[in-house]
Amino acid sequence: MQITVVGSGYVGLVAASCLAELGHQVVCVDNDDRKIAVLQAGQVPIHEEYLADLLARHGGKNIRFSTSLTDSARNAQAVFIAVGTPQGDEGDADLSYVESVAQELASAVNGFMVIVEKSTVPVFTHDWIRKIMHINGAPADSFEVASNPEFLREGTAVRDFLYPDRIVIGVDSERAAAILREIYRPLTDGSYYERPDHIPERLGAPRPVPLIQTSAKSAELIKHASNAFLAMKISFINAVANICEAVGADVRQVCEGIGSDERIGRRFLNPGIGYGGSCFPKDLSAFSAVAHECGYEFRLLDEVMRINEEQRVRFLRKVKKALWTLRGKKLAVLGLAFKGGTDDIRESPAIALIRMLLKEGCEIRAYDPAAMERAREVLGAERITYADSPYEAANKADALLLLTDWPEFAKLDLRRLRTILAYPIVVDGRNLFDPATMAEHGFQYYSVGRPDVQVPARKAAVDP
């Protein structure tokens, strides 16, 4: 099919690349001339596993890039809107970018097209898109508006798209449903997985992929409700971890016990410094605002957000507990992205904590495998430097802080780390290490929801 994807960010670029992988002819549109020039040159502007492979495979063939929405959408059978919906001043979603796209699309209708909400939007957005199209001259029978929410995790977004738990299409006509079913047919009939060059499988993905057809309103709510529920699991286990700390229990054992219940499940029961990223914080606020507009006070969401914010403050207290005073302390920070596997720093708990530490008078030496340049743009260089490796960051530091769950951080050489730190103090906000192992290597170790490891701190005897 001829498909246009509007937006070349984390959702739009992944969606465009994966739709090209499924055999469709895709044009990815963005009004950022610089970003489109980068993509046309064959470069990848974001860090995402397998994305570079898909762009190299389909660039100039199944996928093209453009700055002209009108030209790109004129012959499209489906237009996916994947533009930003940032949080507004009142916590609601700012839909001005979606509105601008709808206004421009009205003049590009040529035949029949399905306009597909891929961005996370509040319920009733499809109605507004339809109204905007009408008042800007698009004939009522020339288009349909559908909702096709994304359930992509940054760092694994390509495989999440190609090996989804489910595909949700929110449609109000069979004509629109037929087009969306055809778009996703290589996944729902399994033909994509028979190709010898398919992207490696995501473990646990269902076969065949279930396609859930709903109304557009229901699909819009499914996305917000899904993110709210996952954020709730994170805040819940963080609250439980805080109780574990108070009574001397081990949250790992608690997670194993409750996560073994198939009604609960183990996923997202990972205590730490809280959730972040471009979705959960924004989407919870937007969902709460939608509920308020509907006359319902969704107080559970308010508490989920409160616990998440409190978790960062509690972690700062752990650092103070480990070091007593913070002014003038030299701290190694591993992790800047909001999670491992991505370079996205939007609403990153790590960035928020670094700002808090700088305000306390600390000096920071930071390292992240992918997010250094993005972090430098927002943190600057005053009392913060950026290392080329975890060991360079840790060299002669008063303590090491782990703020992002990159898998490579869990594989650090603890013997070497113990040698190069000025003091063997590790404050782990992601529970990447085993407390017994840290004790064996002579560390004072502080984590989330587990008893502290107290080993007498001694200065390193050998310089690196």
What residues are annotated to the active site? 279
Other CB atoms closer than 10 Å to residue 92's CB: what's the count?
18
Q: Work out the number of other CB atoms within 10 angstroms of the CB of residue 243.
A: 12
Q: Taking a C-beta distance cutoff of 8 angstroms, is the pair 340, 403 a contact?
A: no
Residue with tokens 């993005």: 374
Alpha carbons 42 and 386: distance in angstroms, whole number? 28
Is there a contact between 205 and 106 (Cβ–Cβ < 8 Å)?
no
Q: Phi first, then psi: give them for residue 400, nearest 5 degrees.
A: -110, 130
d(CA 98, CA 84): 8
For residues 217 and 149, is the Cβ–Cβ distance under 8 A?
Answer: no
216-247 helix and 299-323 helix, angle to the nearest 10 degrees: 40
Q: What share of the chain is helix, strand, coil (3-state, %, to 5)?
A: 45, 15, 40
| Residue listed under structure tokens 């600057």 | 380
CA–CA separation, 242 vs 230, rounded Å? 19
Q: What is the largest CA-CA distance in the chain?
A: 78
CB of 199 closer than 8 Å to CB of 158: yes
Residue pair 285/91 in contact (Cβ under 8 Å)? The answer is yes
* Distance from C-alpha of 384 to C-alpha of 401, rounded to nearest angstrom: 14
Q: Which uninterrupted H or E stretch holds 449?
A: none
């004939």: which residue's tokens? 139
